Amino acid sequence: MKKCILITAVCLCSQLVFSQNTDSVVIKKIVDETMTNGAAYENLRKLCKQAGPRLSGSPQFANAVRLVSAMMKEIGADTVYLQQCMVPHWVRGEKEKGQIILFIGKKYDLKLCALGNSVGTGAKGVTANVIEVNSMEQLDKLGTNGVKGKIVFFNFPMNQTYIKSFRAYGESGVSRNRGPALAGKYGAVGAIVRSLAINLNDYPHTGATGYNDSFPKIPAVAISTNDAEYLSKQLKRKNVSKAYFRTMSKMLPDAPGYNVIAEKRGSQFPEEIITVGGHLDSWDLAEGANDDGSGVMQSMEVLRTLKALGIKPKRTIRAVAFANEENGGRGGQKYLDEAKTKNERHIFALESDEGGFTPRGFSLDMTEAQRNKIMQWKNLFYPYGASDIIAGGSGSDVGHLKELGTALAGFTPDSQRYFDIHHAATDVFENVSRRELLLGAANMAALIWLVSEYGL
Amino acid sequence: MKKCILITAVCLCSQLVFSQNTDSVVIKKIVDETMTNGAAYENLRKLCKQAGPRLSGSPQFANAVRLVSAMMKEIGADTVYLQQCMVPHWVRGEKEKGQIILFIGKKYDLKLCALGNSVGTGAKGVTANVIEVNSMEQLDKLGTNGVKGKIVFFNFPMNQTYIKSFRAYGESGVSRNRGPALAGKYGAVGAIVRSLAINLNDYPHTGATGYNDSFPKIPAVAISTNDAEYLSKQLKRKNVSKAYFRTMSKMLPDAPGYNVIAEKRGSQFPEEIITVGGHLDSWDLAEGANDDGSGVMQSMEVLRTLKALGIKPKRTIRAVAFANEENGGRGGQKYLDEAKTKNERHIFALESDEGGFTPRGFSLDMTEAQRNKIMQWKNLFYPYGASDIIAGGSGSDVGHLKELGTALAGFTPDSQRYFDIHHAATDVFENVSRRELLLGAANMAALIWLVSEYGL
């Protein structure tokens, strides 16, 4: 009996080794094809330079839908189609301005921008005393007495010691996400938020803020990290008389948005759907090259590469350019709703929305058995830099599919540079490396191919 | 007896786990200190902007020596000193020019630069027919009959499918290193070399060429990869009448150069020396931010971080800014010569000369026993991205110490972006990421500390 188990184990083991050898040959071909002939980089250039910034509801987003649909046809998808959904339509309006007024009579111009979804100040702007807070607890403690009639300055520097910078973004991000709502609750007249940039620079980084319908909605801006340092220093020295800012942003009625989908039907199990995607919308200040043009282009590259190699995936693969990730999440929701309506079977979904940087690995949100299956493939990714495969989150677009029990994953590129450019005017095509982008796409293609071949 | 071995094994094992736990605490402190207070990035800015391009023999190199000496004193080294050596003094002279003359009468201006160490054409330039070769074997086959009186165009594109791009550099690099010498042997009048850039761009990438004293020395230029594609296409179409280029470069008599050294004496084994270094010289076209200002700054950062934490290393640590890596290697040679003269005991040397990009690991050139010792520490580096520790080369400066039997290592950052900017005008401070640079330094500091603590 023991002998039998041993023999079985040896057989299974050598089978695994044998199949991994064959798999590694296919994956090498996938990587070679992507690195040599990949279209993702030039397509990203087109998206960034021809459509440009493409916030939900903008004509630029509509232009991006046309561009990406054409690219999807170009790469040879079986079908290319749109899913329409209504999306928030926020507009920034006239360029913002703001100042710190010092007691010595000097004025200091702030490099600022309105936060996404925020209400405007009106033409007069807001002028008030400023109070700095460094945690949400501190604001709660100050309460109405400490805050009423003031501008609250949320100075939450990102933690430099977190090697995975998304962790720092998560922690400090509460200032932008929930800060203005809470300041409104306590009667503040405005919120100034330190940009969620991990280094000191002169660019304001926008991003959505979330109001709470039970509290007054107050205008809110992000200032550059350099300005945050300056403001904090002046406050400590008791030099600040007042601050002033003016934003003309407003929320218009919902507008149509679109998920753009390229589908390659599976040859053996067409009803089992694998999704790979990123989001097509971007902030209005940025070309959205890393956030998230790169994810869209990498997802399309997966299909292009497999097609170029003549690989016929056993399961259906969809590359999806999601609508409205930045300020509503309606595209992801729509994708889920359609899946439910059509009773689709979504076995796996992979998202790339952490920038087109050099690959490190994948983060898996699925059952332990599924995770173990993927982790068995770890060595296949090692030569291509994406073997750091761990349990974790996926992404906010594919995340909606959790409701269906879909196995989810996020592509994890290196995160050191992301929060230099995230949601800022510096998120441009020129800050994407061709080889980093393609190497990410190649690893994504390898994972998608493995799942399409072996299921989960 | 068996039981005894088992108990010993368990003890050793738990000792290892215990010591790794303690080590991981120290390493976390090292990383936190570097990421938060690291001076490497601002020091690199100073070097790039105040000294700028600093080829051996240039006044800018002398300026860089002054700047770096001052920085080394600033970080609190026990001693800072220079090692003088004579270095090649090559000058580019008047800006180069060159053209392709097409049969249709059109002229196409080439984006080019003289190769380092190359002889000039004289004021008249060279004008001749062009013949393209794609391998050294092809040139050998053509021989004198095929090449005499012509300009040889070495078109050796870097292989896109190598994930470690240094492998592609090594392969295609023979065109620049040995091509012009071999073309001279066969009577060519000039050499045009495709830049060793892994992507297509408009920048010529310089770098040293090596002549052979037995053959005529012919002038040699690098052209941008875009121009190489253009020239090759026109040659295939038989559109090219002649090519012309003019370089006024020349080699002057040797000039003084300096290794700049910061030393921290070991508290327990001061006679055991650990070196960490990069090279201070750069090409004259570039700020040498990634090649290799970053390596110099990271090496100094190792000392700064340990000092800031009050860590007293058991063994002596030297941060070395080597002279003349780019076109002579005399600094590394001098360092070895001094070590021999003074009968120094060099136990370990680590070089950073692959750019200030996000860390991947280390490459070890040492005995198997030493390698195994370092590989035992692998998990300590995992949280900081440098756990890909493999057998391989070290670097051309510390490489000289091989003669003494020193254990050598090279720091391995991600290589996707290096050959976009290497030896080109785009190797500027702005193309270095603060966090990537510091994270590399932090991992280097961790390795240096471990070796200083436990020896090899």
pLDDT digits (tens, 9 = 90+) for A394-422: 999 999 999 999 999 999 999 999 999 99
- For residue B265, being part of any structural domain is answered with yes
The two counts, helices (H) then strands (E), for chain B are: 14, 17
Q: Rounded to an integer, what distance in angstroms lies between the CA atom of residue A437 and that of residue A278?
A: 13
Which residues in chain A have their CB less than 8 angstroms from residue B161's CB?
31-32, 35-36
Select from B35, B358, B420 the Cβ nearest to the Cβ of A160: B35
Whether A11 is in a domain gets the answer no
Mean pLDDT calculated for residue range A136-145? 98
Strand B359-365 to strand B388-391: parallel, antiparallel, or no bridges (unpaired)?
A: parallel
CB pair distance less than 8 Å for A163 and B358: no
Burial of A40 (0-12, 13-18, 19+ CB in 10 A): buried
Asked if A417's CB is within 8 angstroms of B433's CB, the reply is yes
Do A264 and A233 lie in one domain? The reply is: no
**Same domain membership, residue A259 and residue A164:** no
pLDDT value, residue A18: 60
Q: Which residues pair with A351 in a beta bridge?
A: A277, A410
Residue of B nearest to A381 (CA): B163
Banded pLDDT at B386 (limits 50, 70, 90): very high
Last residue of a domain, one of B190, B225, B251: B251
Looking at residue A19, what is its pLDDT? 72
| pLDDT band (50, 70, 90) for residue A27 | very high
Nearest CA in chain B to A33: B161
pLDDT tens digits, residue range B329-358?
999 999 999 999 999 999 999 999 999 999
- The token pair at A259 is 């998920």
Question: Which pLDDT band, with edges at 50, 70 and 90, does A76 fall under?
Answer: confident
Q: Name the percent of chain B lying above pLDDT 90.
A: 95
CB atoms < 10 A from the CB of A89, how many? 21
pLDDT tens, residue by residue, B111-168: 999 999 999 999 999 999 999 999 999 999 999 999 999 999 999 999 999 999 999 9
Query: Which residues lie below 8 Å from residue A236, measured CB to CB, with a gap of 6+?
Result: none
String of DSSP letters for A276-323:
EEEE----TTS--IIIIIHHHHHHHHHHHHHHHTT---SEEEEEEEES
Q: Give the DSSP letter string of B420-445.
A: HHTTSTT-SGGGS-HHHHHHHHHHHH
Of A397, A55, A51, A97, the closest CA to residue A252 belongs to A55
The per-residue pLDDT of chain B, averaged, comes to 96
pLDDT of residue A14: 55
Confidence of residue B3 (pLDDT cuts 50, 70, 90): low
**Of A382, A391, A419, A258, residue with least CA distance to A331:** A258
- Reported residue count of chain B is 456
Assess B165–A contact: CB distance below 8 Å, yes or no.
yes
Q: Does residue B154 sit within a domain? A: yes
**Disruptive mutation site among A202, A358, A379, A438 for chain B (greatest number of B CBs within 10 Å):** A358
Task: Give all strands of the β-sheet with B359-365 in edge-to-edge order.
Answer: B79-91, B250-264, B315-322, B269-279, B345-351, B407-413, B359-365, B388-391
> Are B406 and B280 within one domain?
yes
Interface of A with B in 372-431 (CB under 8 A): 383-385, 414, 416-417, 420
Confidence of residue A308 (pLDDT cuts 50, 70, 90): very high
Cβ pairs bridging A and B (under 8 Å) = 60
Q: Inter-chain contact B35–A161, Cβ cutoff 8 Å?
A: yes
pLDDT at B16: 57
If asked whether residues B341 and B413 sit together in one domain, one would say yes
Q: Which two tokens stand for residue A8?
A: 């079985």
Residue A3 — very low, low, confident or very high, per pLDDT cuts 50/70/90?
Answer: low
In whole angstroms, what is the distance from residue B90 CA to residue A11 CA?
A: 64
Give the pLDDT score at B21: 83
Looking at the structure, tell me whether residues A332 and A447 fall in a common domain: yes
Q: Above 90 in pLDDT, residue A328?
A: yes
Classify residue B141 as exposed, middle or buried by CB count within 10 Å of its CB (0-12, 13-18, 19+). Answer: exposed
Residue A23 makes CB contacts below 8 A (sequence gap 6+) with A377, A380, A450, A453
Domain end among A233, A248, A263: A248
Give the C-alpha separation, B179 to B175, whole Å. 4
Please give the pLDDT value at position A1: 47
pLDDT of residue B1: 47
Q: What is the mean pLDDT of residues A234-250?
A: 97
The pLDDT-based confidence of A17 (bands split at 50, 70, 90) is low
Q: Residue B17: inside a domain, yes or no? A: no
Q: How many Cβ atoms are within 10 Å of A52's Cβ, its own excluded?
A: 18
Considering the domain architecture, whether residues A152 and A296 belong to the same structural domain is answered as: no
Q: Which two tokens stand for residue A361?
A: 């690995």
Q: At what angle do helices B368-375 and B434-454 cross, to 10 degrees?
A: 120
Identity of the amino acid at A381: F
Q: Which of B160, B163, B360 sits opposite A36 (nearest CB)?
A: B160
Which letter does DSSP use for residue A189 in this model?
Answer: S
Q: Does B347 share its domain with B404? A: yes
Closest CA in chain B for residue A419: B435
Closest residue by Cα to residue B48 from B68, B29, B34: B68
| Chain A touched by B35 (CB under 8 Å) | yes
Cα–Cα distance measured from residue A198 to residue A279, given in angstroms and rounded to the nearest whole number: 23
> In 10 A of CB A103, how many CB atoms?
12
- Please name the member of A385, A417, A433 whose beta carbon is closest to the beta carbon of B163: A385
Q: Is the dihedral of CA A295, A299, A300, A301 positive or negative?
A: positive
B32 touches chain A (CB under 8 A): yes
Q: Do B435 and A416 count as a contact with CB atoms less than 8 A apart?
A: yes
Query: d(Cα B372, Cα A113) in Å, to the nearest integer?
Result: 54
Kindly state whether A136 is in contact with chain B, defined as any CB-CB distance less than 8 angstroms.
no
Number of domains chain B contains: 2
pLDDT at residue number A338: 98
Cβ–Cβ gap A385/B360 under 8 Å: yes
Which residue type occupies B6?
A: L
Residue pair B297/B44 in contact (Cβ under 8 Å)? The answer is: yes
Instruction: Report the pLDDT averaged over residues A315-322.
Output: 98
Query: Which pLDDT does position B72 carry in this prediction?
Result: 98
Mean pLDDT of B231-258: 98
CATH number of the domain at A395, please: 3.40.630.10
> What CATH number does the domain containing B228 carry?
3.50.30.30
Check whether residue A334 and residue A406 sit in a common domain.
yes
Q: Pick the closest to residue A242 from A110, A118, A145 (CA basis).
A: A110
User: Does B365 fall in a domain?
Assistant: yes
Cβ distance B435 to A198 less than 8 Å, yes or no, reads yes
Q: Are residues A132 and A195 in the same domain?
A: yes
Q: CA dist A107 to A25, A122, A189, A277, B257, Å?
A: 64, 21, 20, 46, 50
What beta strand segments (E) does A295-428 contain?
315-322, 345-351, 359-365, 388-391, 407-413
Please check whether residues B131 and B148 belong to one and the same domain.
yes
Question: Is A270 contained in some domain?
Answer: yes
Q: Is the pLDDT of residue A189 over 50?
A: yes
Q: Say whether both B145 and B173 belong to one domain.
A: yes
Q: What percent of chain A has pLDDT over 70?
A: 96
Alpha carbon A278 to its chain centroid, in Å, reads 8
Mean pLDDT over the full length of chain A: 96
**Distance between CA A92 and CA B235 in Å, rounded?**
53
Nearest to A349 by CA among A311, A295, A428, A427: A295
Domain end among B251, B277, B294:
B251
Q: Are residues B244 and B119 in the same domain?
A: yes
Instruction: Encode pLDDT of A168-181 as tens digits.
Output: 999 999 999 999 99
**Token digits of residue A251:** 């929320």
Whether A288 is covered by a domain: the verdict is yes
pLDDT of residue B19: 72
> A99-131 pLDDT, tens per residue?
999 999 899 999 999 999 999 999 999 999 999
Q: Write the residue in B32, B358, B434 that is nearest to A358 by C-beta.
A: B358
For A436, which of B160, B360, B416 is closest by C-beta distance? B416
Q: Which domain holds residue B172?
A: 96-251
Average pLDDT over residues A242-258: 98
| B348 assigned to some structural domain | yes
Give the closest-approach CA distance of B167 to chain A in angstroms: 13
| Per-residue pLDDT at A15 | 58
- The SS3 of residue A448 is helix
Tell me the C-alpha to C-alpha distance, in Å, between residue B71 and each of A11, B352, B359, B437. Answer: 62, 18, 24, 17
